Each structure stands twice: as C-alpha cells, then as structure tokens.
Structure 1
Amino acid sequence: MAADPSLLVDGAFWRRPLADRMQVFAEWRAEGPFVPAHVEVPFFGQSVDFTAVIGHPEVAEISRRPQEFCSGRGSTAIVDLPVDALEYFSSIIVMDDPRHARQRGIVARKFTPRHLQTLLDSVERVCTEVLDGVCEQGEVDLVETVSEPFPLLIICDMLGIPRSEFATVLRCTNVILGAGDLEATGSEDVFTALLSAGMELTGLLNELVEHRRQHPADDLTSALVHTDVGEDWLRPEELAPFFILLTTAGNDTTRNAISHGVDLLARHPDQKAAWQADLGGVTASAVEEILRLASPVVYMRRTATRDTTLAGVDFREGDKVAMFYGAANRDPRVFADPEAMDVRRAPNPHLAFGGPGPHFCLGAHLARRELAVMFRQLLTRLPDLEPAGEPQLLESQSIPLVGGVKHLPVRFTPAPKVGAA
C-alpha cells in the first residue's frame, strides 16, 4: 500500500493495538526507509515538515552521525520547544557536544561502583514491596499498581525525593509525557498544563537541593550538589531540567515496557512457558526481546546541520528527521521473523535505548535490571497472571513521545506476601 503519512500524526493511529501499528510500518518499510510527513500542533502553534525514518540501518546511522544530525536545534520532539518551556525541558537530550558531554560526564561520574550497587540492590527490594501490595488481591490494574509505581519509586529513592511527594511526581510526569491525554493533563490547555508540571517539579526539586546542601544523604542529589574542590558541577539552572528528565524518562519507559511485556507474553504463551522453565538462562534475552517489540520510546528527532546524504537520499540543512524506534526494531533486514516474539533471540541489536552514539540511554543498565527483576518475580510469584482486558492506550493528540499504556486489567491466583527481600 502507498504510505499515508497523515496516519503518523493522527492520535487515533497511536491508539490502535501495537501489532496493527507495526503492520502499517512494515508495509511502508517495504517501500523504503523514509516517509515524508507533516505535522501541525495547535497548542504549540507550529506546522512542520519532517521525514520519518523507519529502517534500522538508517536510524543507527543517524544516531552515530551527531555532527550532521544534531539534537541541539530546538527539541527531540518533532516541533521545537517554545521559549517558555526551555527553562524546564532543556536537558542533555536536547544538547550537542561539548555541552552534552560535559553534563553527561558529571552525572556519570557520580554513579560510582558503590552507588550503582546500592541502586541495583534497591530494585529487588522495591519490586518485592510493590508486588506485596497487590499479590493477595487476585485482580488489579497492572499499570496503576505495578508498572507505574515500581520504576518511579526507584527513581525517587535514587534522588532522595521523600515518599510523601510520590503522588506529586507521578502526576507531573504523567502530564509531561501524556501527549495531551485529558486523563493526564486534566485540561485541554496542554501547553499550560505542561508548563505547570515543569514548574511544580522544579519547585519540588529546588527545595530538595537546598535541603541536601545542608543535610547531605546517600543519594544522587547529595552527590551532585556536593563536589570536590576543582571538580566540575551542575549549575543551579542545569539541575532542574536534568531531574525532570530523570523522573520522566526513568519512569515512563520502564513502566510501559512492563505493561507491554505482560500483554506480549499473554499473546505468546509458548514464549512465557519457555521463560518460566528456564529463568536463569532466558531472562536476559527475554528482556531484550520485550524491549525490541515494545520499544517504549516512539521516536526522537534530529536536525540536519548541513546538506548531507543518507542511504541515497539528500537532506538539506535544517531538515528534521524523526527516528521511529519501534519500526526500526522490526526491520527484516536485521531481524529474522521480526514480528514474532522469541525470548531466546540472539543476536538482538535493537534500538530501544537509542542508536549508537552520544545519546545512547544513560539509564539502560538500570532499566534492564528493573525489567529482569520485575519479570522474574511476576513469573514466579504470580505465575498465572494474565490480562483481563485489552491495554488502554494514551488518548494522544498527535505522535506521542512514549507509547503509553494507561490501564491494563490483570487477574491471577492470589498469593501470600513475602516481605523484604
């Protein structure tokens, strides 16, 4: 079929079942890796031409050529961020080197082996805590009770955000990545809701920073505001955007990988059985396969910095390209039988954490750990857990940055709590 790029910017398209959307991308990809498209975003007042990149080699190539396809001209969203929003959302993902390398280096330096081990150890504890909260009930909304709180509790603990502020962080992050869904924003004025969420998170995090300056603790916030003499540090205006990025990206991607993963296993019971039969041997590859098929981050944008050619197609300076990771992760040029779920798939060079290059996800290791721990516990503690209905997806107004699952009812045989791991 001829590609109809208007589907890309139609919110209804992103509410279709995952398999249906991927079938459309497969038909387009058979015609080529690039789809010229156009988007209008009324609440940002912008009308933009862009090229959708849906092939794996092409997405990987753009990612490894940041000098020609940059992140720092406007936004990683297809439309540029309005000036009012830059104060809250101008984090490292919308920067190029050397600014990007400097900030990323500061953060990476704070993840010492001891801090990393403490963080990774906490994943098991928080997972047990979350599942203890639902295991006796027999039927719950997986998103509200498991997928949503699990990664966000870990992020809050990592930053030192008190549990009393969990609901605030959850509400604000849902607005930021809610793609205009009224259930998330609570208002049709999406831009105002977005700014309000950014301001509220910034206020919360500034209070935390000031408290940690006076009362340091064993958390990332303390590590970032207390530096050795002569050591580079994040300036005050750099801290809030970084924290907003961490609380949103570190939460939403893992949340949706869990939700999509449970649904995928239900649709492929043979793969679930294979995983349960060999947890030690299959977990690592099964997590990668869930990431490949779910691809929680829908897309990221880059902007051509000069006239250049990619895969035989010419791009002009200023052209916008949007890399669609889910489509790239089902490219038959790279993956055999790409629509099938294979929990033992190897190799599996998926791009769910971004392509090779400076913007590969800083939290990939943590996300993999979270998914491995959560699915090991789900498959052993609640082995017959299954969806009790279809996933309810975000009511996005256009292309969502993250393919969000709002609700997923599940049922299982009630099981006892196990207490602290």
Structure 2
Amino acid sequence: MLPGAGPVGRMSVPNGILVVESDPVVTPGTLEPPEIDITDWAFWARPLSERHEAFRTLRQLPRPAFFAEPDVTYAPKGPGYYALVTHADIVEASRRPQDFCSGAGAINIADMPTDLNEYFGSMINMDDPRHAKIRRIVSRAFSPRMIQRFEDQVQEVAEQVVEEVLAKGSGDFVSDVAARLPLKIICDMMGIPEDSYKTVFDNSNIILAGADPEFVAEDENEIALQLLTAGQTLKDLVEDLGRHRREHPSDDLTSALVNANIDGESLTDQEFGSFFILLVVAGNETTRNAIAHGMNLFTTNPAQRELLLADFEARIGGAVEEIVRYASPVIWMRRTATRDTELNGTELKSGDKLLLYYWSGNRDETVFKDPDVFDITRDPNPHVGFGGPGPHFCLGAHLARREITVMFRELFRRVPNIRATAPPDRLLSNFINGIKHLPYEI
C-alpha cells in the first residue's frame, strides 16, 4: 500500500491502481477489467467514452481517490496524489491558495526543481507574493489601448484565414484554421517576426506533446532533452527580442513588458522569458484546441449549429462557454497542501498533492444537467475550463473568448457549410485535450 493510500469506500489502491470491487456504479461491460489507473499512459489512449465513464465512476466515490505517481527520469518518484474530480472539490481547492499552493508545481505531478518549474510554468508555478508581482506587471502591460488594438487584429486575421479556406476548399482544419489565428495574434502581440512563426509553433507543440509519438521520442531521456531544447529555443528567441526592445521600444507587448516598472518592480530576463513560454504555449495551444473542438462539435451536433446560425450574436457567447466546458482543453492542474487541512470532508496532510481535473469537474452531474450533451443554450454554465476561482484564473480568458467568437463568426458567415469529414486525430496526452488533425471541407 502506498503512503497515504488506503480503503476508499469499497475501493482499494494496491500498487497505485484503483480497483473497483464489483460495485454497481460501473455500467457492465464499460470497464473490463474493472480497474482505473489514470496515471498509466494506456488509460489516456483508451476511447474517449471509456475515459469519461472512468471519471464518472471516480466522481461517485465518497472521497477523492489516490493514485501512484508516474516514473520519470528527471525527478524522484513521489508518494502519490489525490484526484479531485468533482466540481465542488476543484472550486474549493482553487479558492484557497493559502492552503493549496502552486509553487511546489502546478503542471507536473513529480516535484521538479524550482528553477525548472518557473522555466516552463512561469507564474502558473508561483504563489504570492511573487505570483502577484508578475501578474501585476503583466496585467498593467495589457493596457486598454493595446487590448483594443489586438482585438481589432483578431478580426483581420480571421478574415485572412477564411479567404484561404475558400480558396482551398478542403484540408486540415487544425493547421488551416484553428492554429493560424491564435499563433499569429500572440506572435504579433509580442512583435515576433513572421519568419519565426514556425519556430514558435513547432516548439510549443513539443512542450505540450504529452507522450504523442508524432511530436516526441518514445525514450524518456530523449523526451526530457526535447522539452528543454524547445523551451530554450523559445526563451532565446524572445530574450533576444526583449534586449532589442529595451533599447528600441515599439508598440508591442514585448516593449511594454521589458520596460514596465510598477512601484519599482520590473521583470528580469528570466521572468520575461518564462512568461513568454507560458503565453505561447497556453495562449496558442489551448485556444487552437478549443476552436478545433468547436468545429468537430458543430459537425457532430448539426442541430446546435442550426441553432447558433439562427441567431448568431445572441447565442455565440453561450456557445463559446459550452465549447470550453465540453472540450476542457486543459485537463488538470496540480496543487499541494501547505498544512494539515480539510477539503469538503476529506482530511489532508501537509505536502499532499492534488490534481484538479477540470476535465471531470466540467462533467459533474450534480452541477450540469445532462453533462455529456453539447448544449449552447446551457444556463447557468459555471464551468472551470479557464481554471477555478482564485489567483490562477486564466489571464487570457478574455482574449481566448474573443478569438473563438470571431473565428466562428467569420466561418459561419462566409462558409456556413464547412464541416469536419472524419473524426479528430487526438493528441496522446493526460494534460491537454488536444486535436492534432481534423479533415474538413466546405
């Protein structure tokens, strides 16, 4: 038995594998053999319906289940983690940063060295006061004038993308549409030249590749090297630009960030480089996946497409929220207990790791009626697709909503019959609910 593991209702955790002891909560035939191990990569290669059924089973437990940590070459194996799968647990942990911190690591299950945590996660892997400092500087850089300028540019880019779709007639929706808009917006925001777009795109793919062989090697040592190389490539790119903008400021976000001084505080080169990695990875990958999921959902739910087209402006806001809820582009984030405490009746010890499974919380039957149904009129829709309440709620949520809205407005205005022609080719990842390829035609 692992430290901290024990009986969980009628569940047991031998060797980190959660075993369902012939409980009627599992629909017969859906989980054979009756085991759930969300740490195992094989679980994330299973059909989507089986994974959702497994998390439905976990949500019905009287307390969070405990799992073994994965074996990784770059960090010692830890004691395990609790999977927070209900909406209530995710929201409660999110709003208590003093009890459940991010600084020990938010995007890795294993305990990474502090400098490596910040290298890839920036302020996602920070707690106050450092988190507040970075967020304050970054938020101030996003001035109303700058936000308005980039919102206007979203429209221009969407129009260009649709022009090319009309010319092609068919292709891969991810590369032709979903990836194009957020990539160009973020690069233009930072002042990155067009000849570097592919560098940003390819390296952000590697950082969020999970275990997908299309992007990373199978050997763990090689994967670790690929991740570090990709991160360093992006960091070098933007730090070179940042040094130039300190001497030659322009009307872009890089200039605003590197020259910002809020109450005597400014970003170091390290902080600026790490924030850029966060921006291009989080702002590019997650928005593009939301757009790709949206196209797939409107193809497989034609009645919802017709409903949207019948009154686009009135319904697009709800449609965007439902896409984010249903797809949950970011599957989880980690928190760590800072002291012995309690979470909705569960006793936790200082140092306990918690994985907040937004992907599961957004299907919680106690919060969402018919959660497996895609319904753009869903109201209320208190999803946690942009994170739970608290200091780590997604800084780019407003821009993401804007990009998704404008992209579908242009598509359905000018190419109303565009649709996916095959099921999506999904990313093999336990962290990002990604779509690699989605064939389409107009």
Q: Under a length normalisation based on structure 1, what TM-score does the superposition of the two structures give?
A: 0.92
Residues 37 and 67 in structure 2, CA contact (< 8 A), matched pair in contact too: no
Q: Does structure 1 residue 377 correspond to structure 2 residue 407?
A: no
Aligned ranges for residues 240-255 of structure 1 at < 5 Å? 240-255=273-288
**Amino acid of the residue matched to residue 402 of structure 1?**
I
Q: Does structure 1 residue 73 correspond to structure 2 residue 104?
A: yes
1:294 to 313, 319, 327: 327
Residues 34 and 51 in structure 1, CA contact (< 8 A), matched pair in contact too: yes
**Amino acid of the residue matched to residue 37 of structure 1?**
F
1:274 to 307, 311, 322: 307
Greater relative contact order: 1 or 2 (C-alpha under 8 angstroms, separation 6 or more)?
A: 1
**Amino acid of the residue matched to residue 219 of structure 1?**
D
Shift in Å, 1:45: 4.5
Q: 1:410 to 1:19 in 2, by over 3 A?
A: farther
Question: More deviation in 339-348 or 183-192?
Answer: 183-192
Q: Does structure 1 residue 139 correspond to structure 2 residue 132?
A: no
Shift in Å, 1:213: 1.6
2:66 to 30, 36, 47: 36
Secondary structure class of the residue paired with 1:350:
coil
Q: What's 2:43 paired with?
A: 13
Q: Which runs of 5+ in 1 are unaligned?
A: 413-421
CA distance in 1 between counterparts of 2:137 and 2:170 reads 44
**Amino acid of the residue matched to residue 13 of structure 1?**
F
Residues 71 and 94 in structure 1, CA contact (< 8 A), matched pair in contact too: yes
The alignment's C-alpha RMSD in Å is 1.9
CA distance in 2 between counterparts of 1:115 and 1:13 reads 43
1:337 to 361, 370, 380: 370
CA distance in 1 between counterparts of 2:218 and 2:166 reads 34
Equivalenced residue count is 409
Q: 1:304 to 1:167 in 2, by over 3 A?
A: same
Residues 33 and 58 in structure 1, CA contact (< 8 A), matched pair in contact too: no
Aligned ranges for residues 139-178 of structure 1 at < 5 Å? 139-178=170-209
CA distance in 2 between counterparts of 1:121 and 1:16 reads 41
Q: Which runs of 5+ in 2 are unaligned?
A: 1-18, 21-25, 27-33
**Amino acid of the residue matched to residue 57 of structure 2?**
E
Residues 257 and 290 in structure 1, CA contact (< 8 A), matched pair in contact too: yes
Q: Does structure 1 residue 262 correspond to structure 2 residue 292?
A: no
Q: What's 1:183 paired with?
A: 214
Identity over aligned pairs, percent: 46
Shift in Å, 1:77: 1.7
Residues 107 and 121 in structure 2, CA contact (< 8 A), matched pair in contact too: no
Q: Under a length normalisation based on structure 2, what TM-score does the superposition of the two structures give?
A: 0.88
Q: What's 1:238 paired with?
A: 271
Q: Deviations over 1:173-196 (max 9, x none)?
A: 011111132322357311000000
**Amino acid of the residue matched to residue 163 of structure 1?**
E
Q: Deviations over 1:13-56 (max 9, x none)?
A: 32345444223212221224622111223343443300111000
Q: Does structure 1 residue 311 correspond to structure 2 residue 341?
A: no
Q: 1:99 to 1:143 in 2, by over 3 A?
A: same
Q: Deviations over 1:337-392 (max 9, x none)?
A: 11111111111110000000000000000000011111112222221122211111
CA distance in 2 between counterparts of 1:192 and 1:38 reads 25
